[in-house]
Structures are given as C-alpha cells and as structure tokens.
Structure 1
Amino acid sequence: MPEEEILEQADYLHSCAETEKLHQLLQQYKNSDDAEFLWRLARATRDMALVPGLPADQKKTLVYEAFGYAEKALERDDRCFASHKWYGILLSDLSEYKGTKFKLAQSLIIRKHLERATELNPNDPTTIYILGFWCFSFAELSWSLRKLATVIFGTPPTSSYEEALEFFLKAEAVKPGFYSKNLLMLGKTYLAMKDNENACLWLTKAKNHRPITVEDKEVHQEAVQLLKRLG
C-alpha cells in the first residue's frame, strides 16, 4: 500500500477513535525515518496510554515510548508543525513522571515548541488551545511553585488569565466547537477574571457539547458543577 494511503487510513482511524487499530497499523512503521509516520505513532501511542483502566506502569511505559517517537520525528523534520506540537505535548506528559522541578525547568521549552508549531501551521486549533492552557497554568501558579520557579529561572515564566483567554478565543475562532475542553477553559478563565456573565455563556456551551470521548463526559460534569456554583 502506498505511503499516502497508509497515512490517510491512519488519519481516518484517529478520527473514528479506533485507538488500538491505529496503534497496530503504525507500529509497523516504528523504524521509519519519515516524520509523518513518527509523529502519528507518537500520538497513537499516547492515545493508548490514555485508555481508561490501564495499569500505571503500562501507562508510564507508553508515555516514554511515545516521547521517543516524537523526539525522532523532530530530529527527522523540524519543519513539520506536528513534530513540534507532539514533542511539546509529550515533553509535558513526561514531566509528570519526573517531578515538579523538571516540569518547571522544561516549561519554556514546551512553550517554544508549541509556538513554533503555530508558526508553521497557524490553523491548528489544538496547538493554540494548549498554549492557552500553558498560560492558564502559569497564571494560577501557587506561591510555593512560583518560589521554586524563581530558584530555577531567576526570573520565572509568567502569564496571565488575559493571555490565556486570548489563545482560547483564537482557537475557537479557528474552528468553533472543535474541543469541549476549550469551551470549558474559556468558562474557567472568565470565572477567574470575575466575569460571571461570559463564564456562564461558555460553561453552558461546554455542558451542551455532545460528549463522545471519556474526556468530553468529564468536561460535561465539571461544567455542570461550575454552573451550579454560579447559580
């Protein structure tokens, strides 16, 4: 089967959330030098790690494996936006296993790769969303983590809810309703900014988003809880 057809098949399986079939298909190309195969394999392996009920040690093994594919994809083609995107995402995932100090130390590298991905492809809403999430995380960084970041960086990375909001709105403008979590984060960001009217608007959209994945269902539940709190 020609490479283009395999990639088309892979993208179709991903769109149908056929995680195991996709992973099996792409595993055949794990020794490929083609970044287009490698970043897709990184994504598929990460998706396998997110399967509910997976034992913690298996999940960790899959995350490390996925990062290896993303790293190789970036080495093979640093002009490929998806190589930068999945390298950034998987470096963040990897950080969860290496402790807070490592996570903070890698934070600017993660942002750099996400920004490079948006330069190479300004129309990928997911990358823009992740940049928004990065900003939101640093906007609400606790005092103790901020102090640790100061030790690591001297001047720690900073962001604001306003900057996070800009990214979330931009992602929504690129592709409205593309991701339930973006709707939720818009609501949570407005909530953090004390703008209850807009928070209610976006949380309602998150609540009404048709749940397909496990994450969508979690988003729905959180949106319902936050709306109850708003009254």
Structure 2
Amino acid sequence: MFFTNTGGEIMKTGSILLLYLTASLCPAQEVLEQADYLYSCGETQKLHQLLVRHKDSDDAEFLWRLARGSRDLALLSSISADEKKRLTYEAFDYAKKALEKNQACFAAHKWFAICLSDVGDYEGIKVKIGNSYTIRNHLEQAIELNPKDATSIHILGYWCFAFAELAWYQRKVAAVIFASPPTATYEEALAFFLKAEEVDPNFYSKNLLMLGKSYMMLSDVKRAALWLAKARDYPAVTEEDKQVHKEALELLKKLG
C-alpha cells in the first residue's frame, strides 16, 4: 500500500512496516474477530484478558462480549466464590452499559437478560422473581431483532422451564410480587427448545440437555433418552459442556 514495486529490499521493508502499523493500530473489527475465535475455542481466560482492555469502550459489540466473557469466567470451577460473585456483577454492569449504548443490538438485550438473572442468584428469590418479566421482555426483544439467534430462543425456553417447575413456596412469593404471576408449562419450554434446534441444529449442548429434560417431565421416555444421549455425546469444549455431559449421564442412568 505504501511502497511501489521498485525493489525487493524496499518491498520487504515496506511489508515489515505495514505489519507493524497494522499490529499497532489493532482495528476494532480485528479484535472482535480474535475474540470470537477465542470464544469458539473455549479459551475463556484468554478471551477475558483480551476484552478487558476495552472495558471503557462505548461500542456495544465490545461490551456485550465482555459481559459474556466475564460470566463465562465466573462459571469456571477454578474460580473462588468471592471472585465468581465479583465477575457476575461485573458482567451485569457491562451488559447494562452495552444496552445503554445500543438498544438495537440484539446481543445486548440477550446478555442483559442473562446477567440480570445471574445477579438475582445473589439477591434472593424475591428479587429474582421480581426481575422475571424484565428478563423475558429483553429476550423477546433480542429474538425480534434477530429471529435466527438460537441462543435467545433457547434461553426463553429455559425461562419457561424454570417457571414450569417453580416450587410452591416460590409461587407464593410470585403471587405477592405480581397481580398476575408469571407462569409457563413444560410444553411451552419444549416448543422453544425445538425451535432453537430448528434454527441452528446441534448449536449448544445445554439445548440438547433441556430437550431431554423437557421430554422427561412430559413422560416421553423414548424422546428423552434420544436427546440426553445427544447431550452426553456432545464435544465437551467449555466448562458448561462438561457439566452437561455429567448431568446427561446421570439422567440416562435414571431412565435405565
């Protein structure tokens, strides 16, 4: 770009300089591509180290990825309880900022919903249930903005599954908070999990597991075993994949 083809040494020097300048500039798109590559490889710690350098960014694309990265780091078994809590709140702050920067970013809505739910684990059942409609609203906005994002559809299914299996005392809490408490059925949850699989087949080990669990709750043993076997055989790249593998094995043993 900077030098004409006037000699080998000049071209060589120019190439070195160009590489140096490119590395020094480190364009935003290049960082995002590197981040997505590290995510696909399950390099959780390296990904967080890369993105945390951009924690003061005003770009929602950096911020929602940083929210995801902080959350994934919190899920590692090697992380202490105190560090897990800190990372959980850190992830929520990044997700909130991403949403403030770009309301049209589907991933910002998705990760805001996920991180808001995570924070609820530290603030008690009343707060967690109180946030439930907000969580669902942001998931629905994420799906509206990007109907092809299987993860958002999966999480909405998980929301339905969680409320379908809500314990009696949690239902009493919900009734106190809301005039019309949130409700859902296993059939609704199953429909979302199936839709997610239709949009992007075999995209996520947890979706395979939840399909198996939904069929179990609906007493369809044959289909439950089919999906649990798929979850068990899914390549365990992330910490979550390993947990899914373990749970799928345990549930298959229960099914006999």
What range is the shorter-chain TM-score in? over 0.9
The counterpart of 1:131, out of the listed 142, 156, 167, is 156
Counterpart in 1 of 2:232? 207
**Counterpart pick for 2:196 among 158, 161, 171:** 171
- The answer for the alignment partner of 1:45 in structure 2 is 70
One-letter amino acid of the counterpart of residue 187, structure 2: E
What 5-or-longer segments of structure 2 have no aligned partner?
Answer: 1-25
Choose which of 90, 99, 102 in structure 2 pairs with 1:65: 90
> Offset of 1:194 from its aligned partner?
1.1
Distance (Å, rounded) in 1 between the aligned partners of 2:188 and 2:106 = 22
* Residue identity opposite 1:165 in structure 2: L
Q: Do the aligned partners of residues 224 and 18 (structure 1) sit closer, same or farther apart at CA in structure 2, a change above 3 Å counting? A: closer
The aligned residue for residue 95 of structure 1 is 120
Q: What letter corresponds to residue 109 of structure 2 in structure 1?
A: H
Q: In structure 2, what is the Cα distance between the partners aligned to 1:127 and 1:10? A: 20
Counterpart for residue 117 of structure 1: 142
2:247, 2:48 → 1: CA distance? 30
Deviates more, 1:47-56 or 1:85-94: 47-56
Partner of 1:81: 106
Partner of 2:12: none
**In 1, Cα distance between equivalents of 2:243 and 2:60:** 33
1:177-215 deviations in whole A, cap 9, x for unaligned? 111111111111011011112112111211222222232
1:188 matched to 2:213: yes
Q: Does 1:229 align with 2:238?
A: no
Distance, in Å, in 2 between the alignment partners of 1:219 and 1:65 is: 25
The alignment partner of 2:124 has SS state of: helix
Encode CA deviations 1:114-148: one digit per residue, 9 max, x unaligned.
11001111111111111111000000111111111
Give the structure with higher Rg (CA): 2
Structure 1: 5+ residue stretches without partners: none
Q: Judge conservation of contact 2:76–2:239 (CA < 8 Å) in 1.
A: no
Determine the C-alpha separation between the residues in 2 that align with 1:2 and 1:213.
28
Tell me how far apart the structure 2 counterparts of residues 224 and 47 of structure 1 sit (CA, whole Å): 23
After TM superposition, which residue ranges in structure 1, 4 or more long, deviate above 4 angstroms?
Answer: none
5 Å matches for 1:20-59? Answer: 20-59=45-84
Aligned residues: 231
Quote the offset at 1:21 in angstroms: 1.8
Following TM superposition, by how much is the alpha carbon of 1:93 offset from its aligned partner in structure 2, in angstroms? 0.5
Give the conservation status (yes or no) of the 8 Å contact 2:42–2:237.
no
Point out the more displaced range, 51-60 or 130-139.
Answer: 51-60
**SS across alignment from 2:131:** helix
Q: Structure 2: which amino acid aligns with 1:163?
A: E
Structure 2: how far apart are the matches of 1:62 and 1:210? 26
RMSD: 1.1
The percentage of counterpart residues that share the same residue type is: 62
C-alpha distance in structure 2 between counterparts of 1:162 and 1:38, whole Å? 35
Q: Give the deviation of 1:6 after TM superposition.
A: 1.2
TM-score by length of structure 1 reads: 0.96
Partner residue, 2:176:
151
